[in-house]
């Protein structure tokens, strides 16, 4: 069964002024759609074409560039849309808050570590908050469309929060000011969704 471009749970302009509507529209309908289409083409007729994306990435042959790039792109963007919320109603609380404070000392120190990972990822890539079995959290970054589910990539574990730092994610609104985009991202994080992913992945 082919993968489908997931629908957003909000309108393209719902994250303004933090992320502009034009960026969201191109990012979702062009970039994410392209990864989805190319992933399906790469999987068609292979033994993995009915597997879950998590299973495909977890057992990935890293020399398979088509599945690595497009499977990563499909998964990463699907997560990215879900961990944002225009209403920003969720608050960091409960066991995820405890885990973040245990690892980083405070929310502000976590924000600093995550922002630094995102700002210093050279070129295109992603920064992540991941959970390991047992509940410990970790921040890391990956180049291109790699992610921590892939064998031997960065911090491992299950990504529960991610920010796209490819220029296509922010250039229209922020040009070269990646740190401003990263800071704005913190205004639209859907902590309820991140907590749900933490509970499932710990």
Contacts with Mn ion, residue ranges (CB under 5 A) = 164, 166
Q: Which is nearer to Mn ion, 73 or 202 (CB)?
A: 73
CB of 95 to Mn ion, least distance (A): 30
Q: Is 86 or 125 the residue whose CB approaches Mn ion more closely?
A: 125
Q: Give least dist CB 104 to Mn ion, A.
A: 26
Q: In whole angstroms, how close is the CB of 192 to Mn ion at the nearest point?
A: 23
Output the residue with the shortest Cβ distance to Mn ion.
Answer: 164
Q: Residue written as tokens 């796209």?
A: 164
Distances (CA, A) of 144 to 14, 44, 105, 153: 26, 23, 30, 12
| Smaller CB separation from Mn ion, 99 or 149 | 149
Taking the C-alpha atoms of residue 86 and residue 10, their distance in angstroms, rounded to an integer, is 7
Nearest Cα to Cα of residue 182 among 194, 197, 165: 165
CA distance 105 to 98: 10
Contacts of 25 (CB under 8 A, 6+ apart): 12
CB of 166 to Mn ion, least distance (A): 5
The CA distance from 142 to 122, in Å, is: 9
In the complex, the smallest distance separating the C-beta of residue 31 from Mn ion, rounded to whole angstroms, is 5
Q: Considering beta carbons, is residue 30 or 177 the nearer one to Mn ion?
A: 30
* Exposure string over 61-91, b if 16+ CB within 10 A, otherwise e: eeeeeebbbbbbbbbbbbbbbbbbbbeeebe
Angle at CA of residue 103, ends 106 and 101, nearest 5° = 30
User: Residue 79 in contact with residue 159, Cβ under 8 Å?
Assistant: yes
What's the closest the beta carbon of residue 53 comes to Mn ion, in angstroms? Answer: 16
Nearer to Mn ion, 181 or 198 (CB): 181
Nearer to Mn ion, 73 or 86 (CB): 73
């Amino acid at each position: 069964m082919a993968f489908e471009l997931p629908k957003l749970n909000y309108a393209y302009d719902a994250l303004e002024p933090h992320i502009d509507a034009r960026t969201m529209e191109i990012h979702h309908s062009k970039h994410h759609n392209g990864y989805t289409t190319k992933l399906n083409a790469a999987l068609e007729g292979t033994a993995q074409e009915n597997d879950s994306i998590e299973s495909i990435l977890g057992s990935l042959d890293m020399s398979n560039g088509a599945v690595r790039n497009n499977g990563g792109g499909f998964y990463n963007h699907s997560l990215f849309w879900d961990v944002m919320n225009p209403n920003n109603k969720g608050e960091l609380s409960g066991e995820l808050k405890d885990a973040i404070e245990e690892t980083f000392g405070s929310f502000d120190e976590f924000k600093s570590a995550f922002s630094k990972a995102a700002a210093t990822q050279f070129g295109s890539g992603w920064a992540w908050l991941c959970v390991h079995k047992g509940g410990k959290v970790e921040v890391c970054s990956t180049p291109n469309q790699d992610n921590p589910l892939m064998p031997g990539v960065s911090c491992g574990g299950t990504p529960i929060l991610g920010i796209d730092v490819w220029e296509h994610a922010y250039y229209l609104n922020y040009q070269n000011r990646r740190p401003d985009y990263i800071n704005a991202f913190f205004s639209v994080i859907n902590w309820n969704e991140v907590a749900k992913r933490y509970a499932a992945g710990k």
